[in-house]
Structure 1
């Protein structure tokens, strides 16, 4: 549903942006954290100043940071230009924290765990080659991971003049499955991961102790992992990086316009199987059928 013209932003509750709370946006509310930088070549979170050779990936310090996959130059310049042009042909809707969005997927109420088809007619045709390419890479790598079958695409626009960001959060795991797949367009940014200071989900303390076994002097809540998302790159977030670490996009990491195309697959609860299926699996089967039509918008 489109917002009324008099509304200048889509923020609700504690969310804010440069439009509705400019004075506070200009202040640095965040704490200074020790930063580790993710190296996609060796799956390590390292102290950036300790990177001895980017060519040979010789690092000192840090810890393994698994279940993050970054593929640089996943699309080329011409493909990027085509995608941005096709995306901008459709209307943007105001979202929270200074963002604008386009949603292609079912209508969901996550708090009540209610979902229905709504007006979902399929993922847009311009996105089809991205999914084909990613699945080709899965097959070529001989990975044990199953084919990626998304049923939702959310395009998010970030611009610095709106104070756009996304606060530390967990993505839903009731409807959405393990892999969050994002194609990064128009501008580079950082995806920042932190461990909450309280045990809001299972496994946080265990994960901190794992990190501490590699970096003994580290304190809980005092550090973050920064993952560089180059322009035209693809990032896959899964496993502990998805379920235990919270992720965010900081306002300070949006120097120019950025568009994120995030695809989501079904959780095991909604993934159809052969034989007798639950109502949730039957609904998931219908979603997959609709999503795979890839209509021209």
Structure 2
């Protein structure tokens, strides 16, 4: 090795910066599987979907895939431009697998189940209009996010994210992500059906809500091949019942909700998981 590793990858995670140095390639998402494509209009995932087979004219086999809600054009092109400008006015921190991140939330030690509210100054001001719009919708009227993680994906760095389940000790039932700048796909896999993958199309400016079985039983990933242009993902997370009224950590949860709702937050270097 003649060069110095200059990325944030650790363990088995790699990107296009470090792979030439360690003479390896990220292949964890290349296994052959039976692929289904999710249709938000009928709530089913269809195999062998073609361009002219859009709802309601699907053909081929299908499976029920509950727990995903897609809202197209959640923001306008002008709002997208403004959001990207606001996001890029904040410094990015290198993350693993070729991503960069910005975190707005409490510092969480998931293994020890400890939370520090002292580093959390609230959600950023530019997210206030998004939260209000969520609360005005039919799907998220009671959604109270306490964490926002912005992730940047670019093809130049070979950005990807391995199959994973988000934490379910502090982060609640719904994961809400807004996609900006380019289209991509969530690849959903489950240990219960190891030979199957379900593709969730994530169109530019769309909002996806993941809950239920899709949240707890299916891991989500983004393959390197599905990042063809710069993409920004804004993921909002809510609290579990343990941190809500009547829960074991109700007092801490109330404090986090009050801080979040100030919308005066600065990005901190917490871990997205």
The C-alpha deviation readout for 1:110-150, integer Å capped at 9, x for no partner, is 11111111321100010111111111112xxxx6x760000
The answer on 1:76 being equivalent to 2:89 is no
Please list, as runs of the form range in 1=range in 2, the aligned pairs for 1:161-180 lying within 5 A after superposition.
Answer: 161-180=156-175
Rg larger for = 1
Find runs of 4+ consecutive structure 1 residues off by over 4 angstroms: 26-29
**Distance of 1:56 and 1:98 partners within structure 2:** 38
1:222 CA drift (Å): 1.4
- Give the equivalent residue in structure 1 for 2:122: 122
TM-score for the superposition, normalised by structure 1: 0.83
TM-score for the superposition, normalised by structure 2: 0.90
1:32 CA drift (Å): 1.5
Contact persistence 1:69–1:235 (CA under 8 A): yes
User: Which stretch has the larger CA shift, 231-240 or 16-25?
Assistant: 16-25
- Give the equivalent residue in structure 1 for 2:242: 269
Give ranges in structure 2 of 5+ residues lacking alignment.
Answer: 267-273
Contact persistence 1:42–1:57 (CA under 8 A): no
1:249 CA drift (Å): 0.5
Give the direction of change, closer, same or farther, for the CA distance of 1:7–1:105 in structure 2 (3 Å limit). farther
Give ranges in structure 1 of 5+ residues lacking alignment.
Answer: 1-5, 197-203, 205-219
The aligned length equals: 261
2:146 is paired with a residue of what secondary structure?
strand
Contact persistence 2:37–2:199 (CA under 8 A): yes
- Give the equivalent residue in structure 1 for 2:194: 221
1:150 is paired with a residue of what secondary structure?
coil
The answer on 1:242 being equivalent to 2:190 is no
Give the direction of change, closer, same or farther, for the CA distance of 1:269–1:244 in structure 2 (3 Å limit). same
Contact persistence 1:175–1:267 (CA under 8 A): yes
